[in-house]
């Protein structure tokens, strides 16, 4: 990975490093040449790593006190809240941590969309990232079931019933997922097992995500290829570590604000009612981070169609690097795409909003418009705009616009030249 | 002090202050993660147990549970008390008078944590070479006062904190 050979100074270090080159890895991570113009949108990778570790640590702690049984789960969560030393703090960090994790991952994904980080040669980083995102949604969903409140139970019922839409084998698959004839104790048990497993799968994928990142190196706000190391790069440590640390501190302040002042604002009060298989809550909503997909699901007046469209909304992102025909990465130099990017942001936010509203009247209309635009953006806008758009001139290097002091790069080259 | 020196000192101060604040923050996060493994409020609520001892015959004993551990409550006969008090202190690995192991005026009542001080097994009653208890795990012999006499256990069986609520009830803990 590293361009240069690293030799430990001490004899013991050399002995060890010859057998397991951990010190070489450490030196690579320290010296890793990073574009010097990375802005604060690039700090969310580090923030997400923090989120993952926080969830794993608090999760392991919660598992020491939680009981995965339909008769005991709800009481054990209340036991954590009332009896366990600092249990309230640890649980609130874990439950709000899930929301903070998704907040960060959405910023991370939209940063990638804006600056074209998913494009060649970074497609594999993007795809691994989407796999992480899928696993996050699975982990979050199953975690939400564990307290065995009303929302847990009925959320689990609704989501598992999605699979019953599959023709012919749907019912068998749903029963297989449940391990019973409804969401019941076997379901809770396996959800707990998988909820404990998935974060470690995510951790493994994060290692691959970073490994894949370190092959081409970071994209940057200008979106051009840079020579490494050069005057366009800085060593990862201390330049990026200190910037990441500062952003992380700000993020932690917001995180702590939720944990200490409004720990339940992102949850649903119905989940403090024990699960009751005989009564469905009047209004079932998933956690906020799943709402856009929920809106897409409900916008289709057909069971199978809704499920297919909802999953397509995620899976279409996997082929995004090949749907985008533009050779220019950063939206900074793409005046048309830039506008569509912001329309997409608004579209997804709107879908999230209507996902939380009743599926009727104007909300249903908005959900349908939003769904149609979502798919149009990826299937039509991205290929066509990439093909037709006249992009702004891009600079030769990161340093150049800075050194010349102007927004207009003097040594600009046309995109159609070799990028 | 030159300007250069002053600058360095200020930076040192900022570093030290930052690290200190950081260390306090990290500590404030780590402590709850450690403390959560200590006995929680539900466990602490079990800290005392009241026992009715009116039905125990002389020479017999009962075993009750306190904080998940067995407590032996034995009503000793006068012969047993005399035997316990006749022991020479030099014969005891952990010298302790029988009088110090019971409440004054309630000499017949031996209330003791029924846990072998070697590795935590529960000794069997009326067994062993000293007319007291015998631990089957590693062969420790205790006398009728619960004192270690022979075997690997280092100390006498522990006397918990307890009191007589009335003549028929004791409160342990």
Taking residues A66-94, what's their average pLDDT? 97
| Backbone angle region of A342, left / alpha / beta, with phi > 0 → left and psi within -120 to 50 → alpha | alpha
Q: Across all residues in chain A, what is the average pLDDT?
A: 92
Residue A1 pLDDT > 50: no
Please judge whether A85 and B32 are an interchain contact, meaning their C-beta atoms are less than 8 angstroms apart.
yes
Q: Is B138 a catalytic residue?
A: yes
Q: What is the pLDDT of residue B11?
A: 87
Q: What is the pLDDT of residue A359?
A: 85
| Chain B residues near any Cβ of chain A (below 8 Å) | 31-33, 35-38, 40-42
How many Cβ atoms sit within 10 Å of the Cβ of residue A358?
12
CA distance linking residue A373 with residue A332, whole number of Å = 23
ipTM for the predicted complex = 0.80
How does pLDDT run across B11-45, given as a tens digit for each residue?
A: 889 999 999 999 999 999 999 999 999 999 888 88
Residue A155 pLDDT > 50: yes
Q: Across all residues in chain B, what is the average pLDDT?
A: 90
DSSP string, B18-73: HHHHHHHHHHHHHHHHHHTTS--HHHHTTS-EEEE-TTPPTT-EEEEEETTEEEEE
Q: What is the pLDDT of residue A32?
A: 94
**Candidates B6, B10, B138, B171; catalytic one:** B138
Q: Taking CB atoms and an 8 Å cutoff, what residues of chain A touch B40?
A: 65, 79, 83-85, 87
Please judge whether B36 and A65 are an interchain contact, meaning their C-beta atoms are less than 8 angstroms apart.
yes
Task: Detail the DSSP E strand segments found in A210-311.
Answer: 233-235
Q: Which residues contact A7 (CB under 8 A, 6 or more apart)?
A: A14, A17
CA distance linking residue A260 with residue A280, whole number of Å = 31
Whether A87 and chain B come into contact, CB under 8 Å, resolves to yes
Task: Detail the DSSP E strand segments found in A9-87.
Answer: 33-35
Residue A135 pLDDT > 80: yes
Q: State phi, psi for B49 to the nearest 5 degrees.
A: -135, 135
Residue A83 pLDDT > 80: yes
Q: Which residues contact A250 (CB under 8 A, 6 or more apart)?
A: none
How does pLDDT run across A174-211, given as a tens digit for each residue?
A: 999 999 999 999 999 999 999 999 999 999 999 999 99
Please judge whether A85 and B42 are an interchain contact, meaning their C-beta atoms are less than 8 angstroms apart.
no
Q: What is the pLDDT of residue A418?
A: 44
Taking residues B60-81, what's their average pLDDT? 91
Please judge whether B40 and A64 are an interchain contact, meaning their C-beta atoms are less than 8 angstroms apart.
no
A to B CB pairs, distance under 8 Å: 33
Q: Taking CB atoms and an 8 Å cutoff, what residues of chain B touch A82?
A: 41
Residue A6 pLDDT > 90: no
Please judge whether A85 and B36 are an interchain contact, meaning their C-beta atoms are less than 8 angstroms apart.
yes
Q: What is the pLDDT of residue A407?
A: 53
Q: Which of A61, A83, A89 sits opposite B41 (nearest CB)?
A: A83
How does pLDDT run across B105-130, given as a tens digit for each residue?
A: 888 999 999 999 999 999 999 888 89
Q: Which of B33, B40, B42 sits opposite A61 (nearest CB)?
A: B33
Q: Taking CB atoms and an 8 Å cutoff, what residues of chain B touch A79?
A: 40, 42
Among residues A192, A199, A196, A191, the alpha carbon closest in space to that of A135 is found at A199
Residue with tokens 């079990």: B46
Distance from CA of residue A341 to its chain's centroid? 18
Chain B: closest CA distance from residue A143 (Å): 20
DSSP string, A338-398: HHHHHHHHHHHHHHHHHHTS-SSHHHHHHHHHHHHHHHHIIIIIHHHHHHH--PPPB-SSS
Residue in A closest to B42 by C-alpha = A83
Q: Which residues contact A100 (CB under 8 A, 6 or more apart)?
A: A51, A251, A254, A255, A258
Q: Which of A65, A83, A86 sits opposite B32 (nearest CB)?
A: A86
Q: Which residues contact A227 (CB under 8 A, 6 or more apart)?
A: none
Residue A10 pLDDT > 90: yes
Q: Taking CB atoms and an 8 Å cutoff, what residues of chain B touch A238?
A: none
Residue B66 pLDDT > 60: yes
Residue A299 pLDDT > 50: yes
Among residues A366, A383, A250, A248, the alpha carbon closest in space to that of A299 is found at A366
Q: Taking CB atoms and an 8 Å cutoff, what residues of chain B touch A85?
A: 32, 35-36, 38, 40-41
Q: Taking CB atoms and an 8 Å cutoff, what residues of chain B touch A260?
A: none
Whether A368 and chain B come into contact, CB under 8 Å, resolves to no
CA distance linking residue A208 with residue B146, whole number of Å = 62
Q: What is the pLDDT of residue A414?
A: 47
Residue in A closest to B32 by C-alpha = A86
Among residues A108, A114, A119, A109, the alpha carbon closest in space to that of A337 is found at A114
Among residues B161, B160, B138, B149, the alpha carbon closest in space to that of B94 is found at B149
Angle at B163 between CA B157 and CA B164, to 5 degrees: 120
Please judge whether B36 and A90 are an interchain contact, meaning their C-beta atoms are less than 8 angstroms apart.
yes
> A239: which DSSP letter?
I
Could you give the percent of chain A with pLDDT greater than 90? 89
Sign of the alpha-carbon torsion through B84, B89, B92, B94: positive
Q: Which domains does chain A have, with CATH numbers?
A: 30-266+276-282 (1.20.810.10), 285-398+412-416 (1.10.287.980)
Burial of A303 (0-12, 13-18, 19+ CB in 10 A): middle
Lowest-confidence region among A144-148, A276-280, A405-409, B82-86: A405-409
Please judge whether A79 and B38 are an interchain contact, meaning their C-beta atoms are less than 8 angstroms apart.
no
């Amino acid at each position: 990975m590293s361009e240069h050979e690293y030799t430990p100074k001490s004899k013991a270090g050399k002995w060890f490093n010859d057998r397991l080159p951990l010190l070489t890895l450490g030196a690579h991570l320290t010296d890793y040449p990073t574009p010097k113009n990375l802005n604060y949108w690039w700090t969310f990778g580090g923030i997400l790593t923090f989120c993952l570790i926080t969830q794993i640590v608090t999760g392991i702690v919660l598992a020491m006190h939680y009981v995965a049984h339909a008769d005991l789960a709800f009481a054990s969560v209340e036991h954590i809240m009332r009896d366990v030393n600092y249990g309230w703090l640890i649980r609130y960090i874990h439950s709000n941590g899930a929301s903070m994790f998704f907040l960060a991952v959405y910023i991370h994904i939209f940063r990638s969309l804006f600056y074209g980080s998913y494009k060649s040669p970074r497609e594999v980083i993007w795809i691994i990232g989407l796999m992480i995102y899928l696993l996050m949604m699975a982990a979050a969903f199953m975690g939400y079931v564990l307290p065995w409140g009303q929302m847990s139970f009925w959320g689990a019922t609704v989501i598992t019933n999605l699979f019953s839409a599959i023709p012919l084998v749907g019912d068998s698959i749903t029963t297989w997922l449940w391990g019973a004839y409804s969401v019941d104790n076997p379901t809770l048990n396996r959800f707990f097992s998988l909820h404990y497993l998935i974060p470690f799968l995510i951790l493994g994928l994060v290692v691959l995500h970073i490994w894949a990142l370190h092959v081409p190196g970071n994209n940057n706000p200008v979106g051009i290829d840079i020579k490494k190391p050069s005057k366009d790069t800085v060593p990862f440590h201390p330049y990026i570590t200190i910037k990441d640390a500062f952003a992380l501190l700000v993020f932690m302040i917001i995180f702590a604000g939720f944990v200490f002042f409004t720990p339940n604002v992102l949850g649903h009060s119905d989940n403090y009612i024990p699960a009751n298989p005989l009564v469905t809550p009047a209004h079932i909503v998933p956690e906020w981070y799943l709402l856009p997909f929920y809106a897409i699901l409900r916008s289709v007046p057909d069971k199978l169609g809704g499920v297919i469209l909802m999953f397509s909304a995620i899976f279409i992102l996997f082929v995004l690097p090949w749907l985008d025909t533009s050779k220019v990465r950063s939206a900074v130099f793409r005046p048309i795409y830039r506008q569509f990017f912001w329309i997409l942001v608004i579209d997804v936010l709107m879908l999230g909003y209507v996902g939380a509203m009743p599926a009727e009247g104007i909300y249903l209309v908005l959900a349908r418009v939003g769904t149609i635009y979502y798919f149009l953006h990826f299937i039509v806008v991205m290929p066509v705009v990439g093909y037709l758009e006249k992009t702004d001139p891009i600079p030769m290097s990161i340093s150049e616009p800075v050194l010349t002091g102007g927004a207009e790069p003097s040594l600009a080259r046309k995109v159609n030249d070799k990028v | 002090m030159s300007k250069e020196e002053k600058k360095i000192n200020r930076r040192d101060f900022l570093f030290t202050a930052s690290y200190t604040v950081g260390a306090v923050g990290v500590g404030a996060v780590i402590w709850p993660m450690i403390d959560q493994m200590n006995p929680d409020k539900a466990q602490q609520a079990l800290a005392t147990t009241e026992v009715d001892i009116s039905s125990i015959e002389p020479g017999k004993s009962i075993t009750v549970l306190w904080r998940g551990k067995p407590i032996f409550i034995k009503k000793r006969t006068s012969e047993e008390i005399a035997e316990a008090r006749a022991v020479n202190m030099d014969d005891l690995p952990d010298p302790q008078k029988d009088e110090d192991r019971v409440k004054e005026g309630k000499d017949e009542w031996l209330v003791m944590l029924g846990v072998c001080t070697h590795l935590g097994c529960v000794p069997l009653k009326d067994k062993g070479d000293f007319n007291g208890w015998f631990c089957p795990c590693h062969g420790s012999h205790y006398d009728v006062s619960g004192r270690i006499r022979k075997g690997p256990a280092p100390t006498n069986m522990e006397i918990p904190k307890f009191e007589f609520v009335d003549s028929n009830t004791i409160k342990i803990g």
